[in-house]
């Protein structure tokens, strides 16, 4: 009897782990993603907590780089990559933003805070993390 209980317990654990894994392994459906639409709204709801409303970043408990007058934004691929996959203390946003939202927020930061990179950004520039 005890063995049977143990077996049930193991089976339940395996099912639980498999379920958790399946949830993790499947990319979030677009319905789970943040629902704001313009680049500015995305910036205000997701990014400004760290990079600040004026884009100038902050230094304190952590160091949040300034996006103002930032030459690293010249090539949109770099910002796209950092936002999609994260980099050190910058969290990956690829699972919470749609491709179009990533494009919109990159367009927003490249054309605000003193940046004047007006070249169009497209979803084709979002690439897998490795070749």
Q: Which is nearer to ligand HEC, 13 or 87 (CB)?
A: 87
Q: Is residue 89 near ligand HEC by the rule CB under 6 A?
A: yes
Q: Is residue 87 near ligand HEC by the rule CB under 6 A?
A: yes
Q: Is residue 37 near ligand HEC by the rule CB under 6 A?
A: no
Among 12, 21, 49, 127, binds ligand HEC (CB under 6 A): 49
Q: How far is the CB of 24 from ligand HEC (least distance, A)?
A: 21
Q: Which is nearer to ligand HEC, 19 or 55 (CB)?
A: 55
CA–CA gap between residue 3 and residue 38 (Å, rounded): 58
Of the candidates 96, 92, 74, the one whose C-alpha atom is nearest the C-alpha of residue 83 is 92
Kindly report the length of the chain. 131
Among 72, 74, 122, 123, binds ligand HEC (CB under 6 A): 72
Q: How far is the CB of 23 from ligand HEC (least distance, A)?
A: 23
CA–CA gap between residue 47 and residue 103 (Å, rounded): 14
Of the candidates 124, 112, 126, the one whose C-alpha atom is nearest the C-alpha of residue 38 is 112
Give 114's contacts (C-beta < 8 A, 6+ positions apart): 68, 69
CA–CA gap between residue 48 and residue 53 (Å, rounded): 5
State the residues that interact with ligand HEC by CB under 6 A: 46-47, 49-51, 62, 64-65, 67, 70, 72, 79, 82-83, 87-91, 93, 105, 109
């Amino acid at each position: 009897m005890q063995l049977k209980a143990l077996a049930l317990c193991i089976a339940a654990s395996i099912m639980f782990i498999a379920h958790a894994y399946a949830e993790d392994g499947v990319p979030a459906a677009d319905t789970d993603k943040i629902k704001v639409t313009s680049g500015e709204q995305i910036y205000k709801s997701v990014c400004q907590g760290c990079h600040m409303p004026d884009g100038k970043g902050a230094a304190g408990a952590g160091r949040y780089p300034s996006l103002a007058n930032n030459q690293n934004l010249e090539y949109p691929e770099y910002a796209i990559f950092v936002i999609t996959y994260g980099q050190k203390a910058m969290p990956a946003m690829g699972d919470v933003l749609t491709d179009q939202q990533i494009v919109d927020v990159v367009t927003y930061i490249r054309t605000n805070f003193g940046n004047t990179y007006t070249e169009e950004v497209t979803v084709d520039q979002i690439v897998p993390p490795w070749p």
